[in-house]
Amino acid sequence: MDEFLKHFAAQFDDIDESLLNQATRFKELEEYASLSALSIMLMIDEEYGVTITGDDMVKISTIGELYDLVCSKNNA
């Protein structure tokens, strides 16, 4: 999870990684926008070899849920 948080935080210019955790509702972050979602989806594909769809992004709200989704797709 720590590595995932580092990769997640790297998608934003002004986010302090230490403020992020599994319960962070990433869509409520001030820096979050539709381009952020695309950037996160691309990072997940590149770093973890997992494809996350726009529908997947709509259904989840926390970083922990996103991480769990990546893990479940990675093991499938």
pLDDT digits (tens, 9 = 90+) for 2-24: 999 999 999 998 898 999 999 99
Domains held by the chain: number: 1
- Residue 44: the pLDDT is 98
Q: Which amino acid is at 14?
A: D
Q: Is the pTM of this model over 0.85?
A: yes
pLDDT of residue 58 exceeding 90, the answer is yes
Q: Which domain holds residue 30?
A: 2-12+20-74
The CATH number for 62's domain is 1.10.1200.10
Give dist(CA 75, CA 30) in Å, integer: 32
Residue 47's closest CA among 20, 67, 18, 19? 67
Query: What are the two backbone dihedrals, phi and then psi, of residue 62, each rounded to the nearest 5 degrees?
Result: -115, 160
- Residue 76: the pLDDT is 61
CA angle, residues 7, 58, 19, in degrees to nearest 5: 35
Q: Which amino acid is at 4?
A: F
